[in-house]
Each structure stands twice: as C-alpha cells, then as structure tokens.
A = this chain, B = another copy of it.
Amino acid sequence: MKKRTSIHDIAKHLNVSSATVSFVLNGKAEENRIRQDLVDRILAYVKEVGYRPNLIAKSLRTGKSKLIGMLVEGISDPFFSSIARIVEEEAYKLGYKLFYASTDNDKDKAIALIRAFRERQVDGYIIAPPPGIEDEIEALKEENAPVILFDRYLEDVQTTNVVIDNFKGALNAVSHLIDNGYGNIAMVTLDSDQSQMIDRHQGYLKALKSMKQKQVLLKVEYSLTEEKNVEVIRDFLSANPTIDAVFFATNYLAVAGLKAIKSLKLSIPKNLAVVSFDDETLFEMYSPTITAVAQPISKISHAIIKELIQRLSSVDGLKKNETIVLEPELNVRDSSKANIKSKERKTEVA
C-alpha cells in the first residue's frame, strides 16, 4: 500500500516547516511574506509528487467540511433528481460538494440520515422533510447549522423554506377541468400529513366550492407498491362510475392511475379527464398527452442554493427565516380537453 504524501513529508523533503507548505497551498503565501522562490519550489514539488490534501484532517481542524447534505424523498423521482442535479452543479461551482440520499418519507430513515450528515460535519442541510422530524431539525438549528426545507415545510418549526404555491396549483388545475365542462371531479392523493399534500387538497376543495360539488377523494396509503396503487385506484374508479375527471396529487399516483384507467379500458378524456401534479416526460409522451401542474424546477433549485449559500457565508448563520413561494404552471394537454359527452354527463349528474 503506497503511503500518501502529507504536508509534513513535503516540508521535510524541502527543509521547510509544514506551516510554510500549508500557507503556500492555501494561497496565503503573500500575507505571510514567503519568498517567491520558496513558493515556486514548493508548488513544483507538490505537483511532482501529486500531493492531494487530506480533507478529513482539514475538516477536523477547521470545523468546515465544504459538504452539503441533501435529503430527498426518492432519488428516482424525476422531480427530486432534477432538483438534485441542478443544486449539485451550483454547489460545485461554489466549492461545495453535495451529498444526497433518499428518505422514502420515512421518519426514522430521515433521522438516521440527518445524524449521518451531522457526524460527518456537513456545513449545511437541504431537506424535503417527512413529518415527525421536527425535533431533529430543531436540534440542527440549535447548532446554528443552516437548514433549508423544500417541497414542503413543517408547521411546528421555524425554518427557511422553498416551496411552491400548492394551493393555487391545485386550484388552477381543478378550475381548468371545470372550465372545460367536467362536473364530477375526483382527487387521488396520498394519505399523508405533509404540507404540500394538505395544500393541494385544499386547492381542490376550493375549486369544487364554486360548483357546489362534494369531494370524491381517494387517499392512497404511502408505502404501497405500484401494483397495489394501480389496484386501489382501479377499485376506486369502478366504485365511482359517475366521476368524469380525476386530479392526481403526485406524478407517480398519476402513472398508477393511467395504468388503472387503461386496464378498465376507459378512454381519456372521453370517459375520464386527467390532470396530474408534477410534470414529467412521460406526460408529454403518453397518448393522449397528460395535462399537468409543472413545478418550476430551475427556480426552486436556484432559490435553494441561494438561500443556503447566504447562510453558509454569513458569519453566524443568518438568523432570519424566509419562506420563498414559487408559482407552478399548468401545462394544458389533451387529457383535459373539453368534450361534449362530459358536459352531458355533468347535466345528468346535476
């Protein structure tokens, strides 16, 4: 095993002190008035032996790791993976490395991961929090660690949040269905207390109010497999034959829903219109194309990194908490097209 060169080895070889080498390596040669020829000799030798600093030692000494920990719900969800990639890239430009992991919305897993980050002395946290981790976040705040929550926030703890207006996104989506003549609109959502899910549900309810429809709601248990989701949604659709449109609260529920609809041999939008929250490639490619509420991925990512960096570079962690609310956008496609038949049905129902 080749032993790696340390600052000490370099210093010894060049007959200088390790402090001198450290200053040169960190660009502090000038302020410590180290002779230019020495600087050159050190730099040359460092290059020659291919010296790479031990960042573990550096972290231990400085208390900074230049690491950011990011917790998403699931890295294979296109919404999260897209944000992770942009944040990763921006963080990288600013000299930080991003460390991400998936919580599956599991409280215990999330807590374990936060602790793992903490034990590695990450400088800041970006978290899509599952419910129940309030105390852990509070503990982070007590250590003055910069924490940004995104996608959802926690009611009981003051933090800086980057979220979208889920209420409005849902309201617009469902209003769009109403405008296009659908009159019996169901919602398929997660059985979850997460803030974004509550807000989407509220938006749905608000839209229904305008036409005095009562809600037709399916709450799917969180940890079901996709097959199970398809089954549950299929049963729900079969049990509610009068609904003429469905609003899905997340993209993967919509994907399961599309499979269910297909297996029931229902035609979209003739028998059933569809709108989903969270846009993705599949929705552009599907036949028919699926109307979806798109989250402004790039704006979200940039807001996250901006807020975090501000707090990382302020001397004692910007105390002020902010909540950034971004606007979602409705991408209207064929799955929610106005159609005569649904209008008729609406009249029948009403």
Partner of A281, one of B1, B97, B255, B316: B255
Partner of A56, one of B59, B84, B99, B258: B59
- Chain A 53-64: CB-based contact to B (< 8 A → 1; otherwise 0): 111110110000
Please report which residues of chain A, range 229-251, place their CB below 8 angstroms from some CB of chain B when the two chains form the complex.
Answer: none
Partner of A115, one of B52, B56, B60, B255: B52
Chain B nearest CB, measured from A305 CB (Å): 16
What is the copy number of this chain in the assembly? 2
User: Does chain B have a CB within 8 A of A208?
Assistant: no
Residues A142 and B2 in contact, CB atoms below 8 Å apart:
yes
Chain B nearest CB, measured from A295 CB (Å): 15
Residues A1 and B255 in contact, CB atoms below 8 Å apart:
no
Bound-state CA distance A81–B81 (Å) is 8
A144 closest partner in B (C-beta): B1
Chain B nearest CB, measured from A158 CB (Å): 17
- Pick from A117-125, A192-200, A335-343 the stretch touching chain B: A117-125
**A4 / chain B contacts, CB cutoff of 8 Å:** 143
User: Does chain B have a CB within 8 A of A39?
Assistant: no
Using A55-B120, A56-B65, A281-B282 as known contacts, say yes or no to A98 and B101 having CB atoms under 8 A apart. Answer: yes
Bound-state CA distance A82–B81 (Å) is 12
User: Does chain B have a CB within 8 A of A45?
Assistant: no
User: Does chain B have a CB within 8 A of A222?
Assistant: no
User: Does chain B have a CB within 8 A of A75?
Assistant: yes
Residues B143 and A52 in contact, CB atoms below 8 Å apart:
no
Residues B74 and A102 in contact, CB atoms below 8 Å apart:
no
- Chain A 65-84: CB-based contact to B (< 8 A → 1; otherwise 0): 10000000011101001101
**A99 / chain B contacts, CB cutoff of 8 Å:** 99
**A120 / chain B contacts, CB cutoff of 8 Å:** 55-56
User: Does chain B have a CB within 8 A of A26?
Assistant: no
**A97 / chain B contacts, CB cutoff of 8 Å:** 101, 116
Bound-state CA distance A88–B84 (Å) is 16
Partner of A259, one of B50, B116, B259, B285: B285
Residues B85 and A81 in contact, CB atoms below 8 Å apart:
no
**A76 / chain B contacts, CB cutoff of 8 Å:** 78, 81-82, 85
List, sorted by A's number, 25 A–B pairs whose CB atoms are closer than 8 Å.
A2-B142, A2-B143, A2-B144, A50-B139, A52-B115, A52-B118, A52-B119, A56-B56, A56-B59, A56-B65, A56-B121, A60-B60, A74-B85, A75-B75, A76-B81, A76-B85, A88-B101, A88-B102, A97-B101, A99-B99, A100-B100, A281-B282, A282-B282, A285-B286, A286-B287
